[in-house]
Structure formats: C-alpha cells, structure tokens
C-alpha cells in the first residue's frame, strides 16, 4: 500500500477501510515514523474504533521497530484508555 492509497483509505466513510489500512501499515510499512505520525493524529478521531486501532498500531510499531513515541495525555480517554495503556506497555517493553 502506498502512502497515497493509505491516506485515501483513512478518509473512507466506513470503519473497516481505515482500520484495515492502519493495521496493514503498522505491520508492513517500513516508514514507521510516517505511520506513527498518522496514528498519533488519529488518536483524536471522532470514531472510537479508529482511536483504539491507532493505539494498537502504536504498540505494534513499538514491538516491531523497538522505537516509538506515544503521548500519555490521552490515557484518560474513557473509551480507549485501556487500549492506550496496552500500547504504552508495548512501547516500554520493546
């Protein structure tokens, strides 16, 4: 998936298209910093599933690349706080 096609997928009107693209990028895109920037922005998305997937993807980046940054300011998000805690644990572990 190119960054252009990924950006288009992230703008799709359904939930499955952007979340599938997000996971695919986390697992297969070598430009993890580009992906990380996308996921950090998506932590503010209006859809809880997109925010949760962004948190999971940040944890995957940490696991795969052993280097990632996630902001802890969103840990208070009642809908994805636990998912973010898991992502932070991945980051600290890897």
With a cut of 80, say whether residue 12 has pLDDT above it. Answer: yes
Segment 60-69 shows an average pLDDT of 73
pTM above 0.85, yes or no: no
Residue pair 55/87 in contact (Cβ under 8 Å)? The answer is yes
Whole-number pLDDT of residue 81: 74
- 55 found inside a domain: yes
Token pair 């999971």: residue:
56
- 59 found inside a domain: yes
- 4 found inside a domain: no
- 1 found inside a domain: no
- 89 found inside a domain: yes
- 40 found inside a domain: yes
- 13 found inside a domain: no
Q: What stretches of 1-94 show up as alpha helix (H) in DSSP?
A: 3-10, 16-28, 32-42, 48-65, 81-93
- Full residue range of the structural domain in which residue 45 is found: 23-93
Whole-number pLDDT of residue 47: 92
Q: What is the pLDDT of residues 16-52, one digit of tens each?
A: 999 999 999 999 998 988 998 999 899 889 999 999 9
As a whole number of angstroms, the distance between CA 71 and CA 89 comes to: 12
As a whole number of angstroms, the distance between CA 65 and CA 52 comes to: 20
Structural domain count of the chain: 1
- 57 found inside a domain: yes
């Amino acid at each position: 998936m190119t960054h252009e096609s990924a950006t288009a997928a992230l703008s799709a009107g359904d939930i499955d298209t952007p979340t599938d693209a997000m996971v695919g990028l986390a697992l297969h895109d070598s430009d993890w910093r580009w992906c990380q920037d996308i996921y950090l922005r998506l932590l503010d998305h209006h859809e809880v599933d997109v925010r949760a997937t962004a948190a999971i993807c940040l944890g995957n980046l940490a696991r795969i690349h052993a280097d990632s940054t996630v902001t802890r300011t969103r840990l208070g998000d009642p809908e994805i706080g636990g998912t973010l805690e898991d992502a932070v644990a991945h980051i600290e572990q890897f």
